[in-house]
Amino acid sequence: MSTTVRTRFAPSPTGYLHIGGARTALFNYLFARKMGGTFVLRIEDTDHERHVEDATRAIFAGMEWLGLDWDEGHGKGGDYGPYFQSQRDGIYDAYFQKLMATGRVYEQDGAWRFRFTRDGIVTLHDLICGDISVDYSNEDNTPDMVVKRSDGSYIFHFVNVVDDIEMEITHVIRGEDHIMNTFKHIQLFEAFGVTPPAYAHIPLIQNPDGSKMSKRDVGAALGTYPEDGFVPDAVVNFIALLGWSPKDDTEIFTKEELIQRFSLEAVNRSAAKFDIAKCKWMNQQHILRMAPDRFVEMALPFCLAAGMQDTPVLRMAIPSVQTKVQLLSEVPAHLGFIETLEYEQEALGKLQPNAPELLATFAQTIEHMTIFDGHEAVSLIKPLAKERGLKPGAIMFPVRIALTGSHAGPDLGDIIAILGRDETLRRLRLLQLPA
């Protein structure tokens, strides 16, 4: 085995990348980066009947979107390829012959079985779960396993171990649902005369109600996150905390900070609870920390997808809602007033009978401002309200409805600045109460 840390993410392309797989990839990535090691992406595509070509592309796309750049694998090359198991049959055949030569496999009903040693207890020294043991003296509980099917194809356990040997993987970090498989893998390593890598089994992800998270549950499919308006760094931050703890109250991390802080010792042994509301909150925190230019860059595609035009006004307006949204997909709804003025009937119903008169007075007040400034215009509302014995909100609310048609959106000063003098005055004088 290599003395340099080498981890791997080895998904099977039988379905789209889910949040559990993404977390496994992240933990392997963080550990490799923390230790100055190598992160390998290997595709376990030997199950031809279940292999989905689109799923392979989705794995690469999901990894790239998260920013989990692998060092070896598809598109990167490396000295230990090929990195698709479907291209490694010659390697597997050679290792199978080693087992044949030492009498560790035998044929039964057309398939080939690996003969376990029956010396008693096999112990796994897991870096997260501690020591776990299985008694191999009882053949009824631990029957010899098939390693080569009757059609000549090899099963997961065999090719997984061979690849870890050939690729000199030093640490296997994967879900705790693989713990029982690991005992089989340890026996294969020993049969090949190779010291097994270090194993670290991470806790499973559960729904808020404690049930096991399935691929159909909300938030399970990674591919939905870009579409829903999540930002990559926020999702990386969120899934890092599904099972790992920084041992203090810090919740918001950049990827670089996660690399610095991550350790296998700080991975929890209990199951992690998935909470989509927490993920959205974390997304909001990352949005709030963005540079405005970066926010514009990331939000603009959602505006264009909603049918808005890419104009200087739109680009100027996008930063005005940076503090208002949890998801990038929410941005267009806050800025629709730029191109289309549609009044919310519920909001119109809340306007007082004197609203048109107040709007006309406000329009007259700001019409002749020497330098037209949105926030300066808003500052004139307070004295205007005081003259009439009103609270400022009594004028701000109808102004907002007149300018946007909605009770929500950017700050009023930003709205006026976005629309400019002429359009602001036109809209203030346009609003009429329903009969």
| 3-class secondary structure, 314 | helix
Number of CB atoms found within 10 A of residue 322's CB: 20
Phi, psi angle pair for 223, to nearest 5°? -60, -20
Sign of CA dihedral 156, 160, 161, 162: positive
> How far is it, in rounded angstroms, from Cα 380 to Cα 424?
15
Annotated binding site for ATP: 215
The CA-atom distances, in angstroms, between 313 and each of 310, 320, 339, 398 are: 8, 11, 10, 23
Catalytic residue, from 148, 212, 215, 391: name it.
215
First-to-last C-alpha distance (Å) of the chain = 82
Beta bridge pairs of residue 131: 125
Whether 76 is catalytic: no
Annotated binding site: 215
- Residue type at position 203: P
Cβ proximity of 74 and 42 under 8 Å: no
> How far is it, in rounded angstroms, from Cα 159 to Cα 164?
8
Known catalytic residues are 215
